[in-house]
Amino acid sequence: MPLSPPVPRALRHTRAIHVDAFAREDGLWDLDARITDVKTRDIRLASGLREAGTPVHDLKLRITIDRSFTIVDAEAASDNMPYPGYCDTIAPAYKSLIGLSLMNHFRLRLKDRLSGVLGCTHLTELAQILPTAAVQAYANDVIKTRDGDGEDASTERPFQLDRCHALRVDGPAVARYYPRWYIKPVVS
């Protein structure tokens, strides 16, 4: 269902977030994430004039993960930023992500290591979306989701169950698509 029609308005700013996932020949995976902020008009920054269409931010973050979602390498780059020579010095701090698991309190540990002055607000915000991006990348490749497979004989519950509202084990979607794993709600 689409959003409702908007009231008359004028575009002033675009933030774009893009993540590509790559399976590597060595069995690891790279998640290349990028965030850009672009204004539709010239703006004056403390560091000088930024012309319309020139990114205020163009920041990249690559994490390399193993098949268990553990980060084995990380690197950051700042190609456009509001404070050249300052913003772009924080990239080495993102090596502190190495050893974290995307599936084990990642966002909390990210905050502990890189929030506030410990990191770049925008790179740290970008990192927050990487757990779900990794799950989507691994779905039906590393993680067998068994979507709609009612004949599955596996005794292991599908990974995605109880990870979102639609796929709660006591909900109608699980009753329909994963009946074997459905748990009838307790009515009090």
Per-residue pLDDT tens over the stretch 12-33:
999 999 999 999 999 999 999 9
Can you tell me the distance from the alpha carbon of 139 to that of 25, in angstroms, rounded to the nearest whole number?
Answer: 18
pTM here is 0.87
Query: CB count, 10 Å around CB of 19?
Result: 18
Per-residue pLDDT tens over the stretch 70-79:
999 999 999 9
Q: Provide the edge-to-edge strand list for the sheet that holds 71-80.
A: 13-23, 29-39, 55-65, 71-80
Beta bridge partners of 32: 20, 62
